[in-house]
Amino acid sequence: MTTKVGYIGLGAMGLPLARNLQRKGFAVTGFDLDPTRADAIVELGGAKAATVADAVRGQDIVITCLPATPHVEAVVLGADGVLSLIEPGALLMDMSTIDAKGTDRVAAACAAKGVPFVDSPIGRLVLHAERGESLFMVGADDASFARVEPLLNAMGNAIFRCGGVGMGSRMKVVNNFLLLTVAEVAAEAVALGTRLGLDIETILDVTGNTTAQNGQLHTLMVNKVLKGDITPGFTIDLAFKDMSLAMTAAAESRIGLPVGSAAHAVYGSARATDLATADYSALLEFACRNAGIDTPRTGG
């Protein structure tokens, strides 16, 4: 029997994930505040929901993939939200990157209503989601994990169980803190090398063959800003939000993150410019502006 999936949130990451579910044999009903986003699901044989209610009723599994904690709590816990409409026996999986305590609140509300809940934030880039190569950090009990594993395999190729409910969200905060801090350092390094007269191909060749190699420079920036493309996959605004999640978690845990705090401040400065809604690889544009140099470009 075909599993029916309601997918709420068809943004830069959510839409390719939902498309992959539909392609792999799941019956997807998509909902987004921009109704045209679901057209791509309809083209593949899926359905478009006009409201959250339409995306929830009659589904076996409901997935939310939303920008931030307030959006998830409003959609799931609010009046006429997911929990007020979900079918008995259906499961809710949240794939958003949100505050771990927000995940805990949603999980507790689900438990109170007897609704199985999984948190499964997404790793890797939009280009990976489009190719069905996403990574998932999963917090779930054994029974719920068994139910969502086929969906995760349809959307990606790397699944990491991080523990019980809430551990996926916690792992995502740590993961994004690391990658976003590295992205800022990579941007500064390229700006420095360019100012010192090195060409970008030399910088990439050498750092790509030492332990300085990293995905932010050698995958993200090579495929985006170094080609002159800063159309958003993951915006500087959202990156600032994710860095803020890490800063808040650290403060609550009484842990100092001095290097991360400096990177967080840079994201805060960058989002005050016209780059706020650009791809976060545009950190390189920001660093080069501050250095008074042109942003280097590769030939490819």
Here the tokens at position 49 are 């929901």
CA torsion through residues 273, 275, 276, 277, sign: positive
Query: Residue 253 CB: number of other CB atoms within 10 A?
Result: 7
Question: Which of 291, 288, 289, 284 has the alpha carbon at shortest distance from 226?
Answer: 284
Catalytic residue among 4, 48, 101, 172: 172
4 classed as catalytic: no
Known catalytic residues?
172
